[in-house]
Chain A
Amino acid sequence: MPKYTLLINGATKEVEVPVAMPLLWILRDELNYTGTKYGCGAGVCGSCTVLIDGVAQRSCQLNAQFCQGKKITTIEGLSADGNHPVQQAWAEMSVPQCGYCQSGQIMAATALLNRTPKPTDLQIDEAMSQNICRCGTYYRIRKAIHRASEIATTKKI
């Protein structure tokens, strides 16, 4: 099996895995980053969303080869203290219900705010509509993204 060096949440990790093994399962089963969730394995639900060089990607659709040399951020690496503006906003707006989809939602929202610090409702709709939440937390996700944008701006000042 080939060896890969991955940069995950700022730490270098060596893994020896089959070429076709998706990043999702490398994270979960090999490296014990279980915050990234399996929902469909087919790129349609968004539960497995992580950041690759700051951009939201579905980890069930990527392999280690593709990720080498890129910065991988999972929910565990979003902040040291759980106080990333998106995490704060998520708590303030009581977004999660069962919580299972929320790692993916939070990573997708973070990526959106990285490129669009003050998104409109329409931009939120476009960026977030590929992430399914079966509990139906959508209204709160929308509100929380606006709130996160506010928190991020005040933090910078």
Chain B
Amino acid sequence: MLRIADLHATVARHEILRGVDLEVRTGEVHALMGPNGSGKSTLAHALMGSGDYEVTQGSVSIDGEELLGLATWQRAQRGLFLAMQYPVEVPGVPLEEVVGAALDARGAPRADLHARVVAEARTLGVPDELLGRGVNTEFSGGEKKRAETVQLAVLEPKFAVLDEIDSGLDVDAMRDVARRVYALARERHVGVLAITHYARLLAELRPDHVHVFLAGRIVRSGGPELADELERTGYEGIAAELGIDELTVVRPFPEADPFGDPTIASNPFADPLA
């Protein structure tokens, strides 16, 4: 089980995650839905241990083992995978080499690596030509998402966080990606946390649980029907129903007052454009 408890995290001393609680069991598919700027990517990177985010409180564990305090690569080796919203271009290091090195690092055999990468690339519509380039290098947005899914499928982690794996994908590609992830969950028992702010992905992904994420925490959880409700009411509807007037975590513009104390200047209710 991937267990997230009371997770708080800050960026540049500004609190973005404000107490996230979530449990994903092996083979379950969870959808986390929230508007832009609500802190979804911050959650994903805080789980993976990015140095840009400081976790100030809480716990993240896999099968009882605490991950906070471990380096990013150690978390990955404990079974966590993050498909990034903005996958990074690494010139001259092709996808197969990345996955190969990742397998080496786990002490897993590279057996059939090439065949597996090629097969997954076919399934997910990644042209062969892209496999010859540095991973993500001059890939389109959609190609990057497919390439993330290829790596996920070959590495078969215990738990996968997919940060807007649907963005930039056309309808056909979204179906291919969602089906592949669904199969990984059902057949290979990968626990999935799919972050999105569109309901479209969920039709194919068929999540067991849906969570609504506003202003740095989960405000409501339910079954697939919650996604339908969200589709009707929008985030505003849910926020109004729960009496929440804050949907996003607005980071103060540092330029506004470079000498100000960021903990005071951070009025999350202020509209920075007002």
- A and B: real partners? no
Residues of B within 8 A of A (CB): none
Residues of A within 8 A of B (CB): none
